[in-house]
Structure 1
Amino acid sequence: MSTLSPQRDIAIVDDDDAIRDALSWLFSTRNHKAQLFASAEELLASYKPETFGCLILDVRMPGMGGIELFGKLQEYAYTPPVIFLTGHGDVPMAVAALKQGAADFIQKPFSDNDIVDLVESCLSLDQLHRSEWQARTAVDQCMATLTPREREVMKLILVGRLNKQIADDLSISMKTVEVHRARILEKMRVKTAMELAARLRDSGVDAP
């Protein structure tokens, strides 16, 4: 039984009914829910990145193959970890996909334990990466509300300049700097310059 916290669903995209059903049953024994798709097109018709914590894609399928599907998934703002199912001859393609950001690949026939362990690792990775992505997105949204002048002031705040120094640097009054500082902290949803610096650092967003 899995000891992981509740996770998002696993998407299994494979044109082989037997493989889809076998994987779905296998993951259910570890308390993971899988959604099954017989083609890339079927997944894309209803795809939402927030639904899945891991996607398993067969490299070779009629119509759109797994590699092309992976490219489509990467057009979204966030892509959950992707694992490729490959035959022996597809390994070079899978390795190329790793260089493009795929999480891993596993060859058919595969060990039940190996694929479950790999998927559970990806589900944990998704929680971490999704949290980081959400933090970056939230900060980006806050920064988008800043005016050009507020961005100038924020940059100076972050390098430790005092209000009087900022006023001199920008040839504006101390009162104006104080107003800008207050608005910046409000828009960035922090209370102090230290909190502002920490939020930018923790989210991985570069200062303006």
Structure 2
Amino acid sequence: MRSPESFIAVVDDGPPLRVMLGRLLRLAEYRLREYATGGEFLASLRAHMPQCAIVDLHMSSLSGFEVQSRIRAANLQVPVVFITGSDDDALERTALAAGVRNLLRKPFSSDELLEAIGRAIGSAEDLYG
């Protein structure tokens, strides 16, 4: 269930994608915060805990995998939906080995993204109450 203070974090170093995802999420009645780097997002977690994070796997500073690793190391319960433009088959195996359950390859549809967010949030609620 969405509470007034809950939001979705969008973490991507590409401004056009952040804008597009922002429009989509606002239309779906989500609140959001946008971050240009994984470091910026991680630094915000003390003050702003998202209901879910959409994180690009390939960013110029921290990768999506590194962001997830640091979230886990801090023992935070932030469900993550990863997005990538890569079509590398080995990425799927690497993602599964890292515990990734929600990976979308660009281009993805609005419905695919919203379904992945719903699954991520639902899984987190099941795990963490």
TM-score interval, normalised by the smaller of the two chains:
0.7 to 0.9
Aligned residues: 127
The 8 Å contact of residues 13 and 37 in structure 2, kept in 1 or not, is answered as yes
Q: 2:103 aligns with which of 85, 98, 105?
A: 105
CA contact (8 A) 2:49 2:78 kept: no
Higher relative contact order (CA 8 A, sep 6+): 2
- Structure 2 match to 1:9: 7
- Give the TM-score taking structure 1 as reference length: 0.55
1:120 aligns with 2:118: yes
Quick one: which of 75, 79, 83 aligns to 2:81?
A: 83
Q: Percent identity?
A: 25
Normalized against structure 2, the TM-score is what?
A: 0.86
Give the aligned CA root-mean-square deviation in angstroms: 2.0
Aligned with residue 43 of structure 2, among 42, 45, 64: 45
- Ranges in structure 2 where 5+ consecutive residues have no aligned partner: none
Q: Aligned equivalents of 1:77 and 1:68: distance in 2?
A: 14
After superposition, the Cα gap between the structure-2 partners of 1:122 and 1:92, relative to the gap in structure 1 and judged at 3 Å, is same
Higher fraction of strand: 2
Contact 1:53 1:127 in 2 (8 A): no
**Residue matched to 1:93:** 91
> Computing the radius of gyration over CA atoms, which structure comes out larger, 1 or 2?
1
Q: Map Cα deviations across residues 19-76 of structure 1 (whole Å, 9 max, x no partner).
A: 1111111111121111100001111222149711211111111111111111111112
Greater fraction helix: 1
